[in-house]
Amino acid sequence: ATLSSHVLDVVTGTPARGMQVQLEESVGDDKWQVVLKAVTNSDGRVPKDAFPTFQKDGVYRLTFYTDPYFQSQSPPAKCFYPKATVEFYITPGSHYHVPLLVSPFSYS
């Protein structure tokens, strides 16, 4: 399976460039193993070659570090959600896309 992700800043209507993102795999009993750490590019995307190819079923989560992103904007914005985390299942043989819309006080 393959994975992609795209983050848009709904305050500015632009890609959220420079946001830190972390992918983790569930290893059971609410324990997680970090698979990768990345930063969104100028298009607000995690670079394609950053994600691994997934060879087995699993539960994963992407954590988007929204507070550092909004603090780096001009002017800096206080953020209600310091992180946005999305958990999902992956099954080999498919492509998955995790889009995220963010503002300092919401995400979806």
> How high is the pLDDT of residue 48?
86
Residue among 52, 58, 50 at smallest CA distance from 87: 58
Q: Does residue 4 register a pLDDT over 90?
A: yes
> How high is the pLDDT of residue 55?
93
Q: What is the mean predicted confidence (pLDDT) over 72-85?
A: 95
Per-residue pLDDT reduced to its tens digit, 13-68: 999 999 999 999 999 999 999 999 999 999 999 998 999 999 999 999 999 999 99
Q: What is the 3-state secondary structure (H, E, C) of 60-86?
A: EEEEECHHHHHHCCCCCCCCCCCCEEE
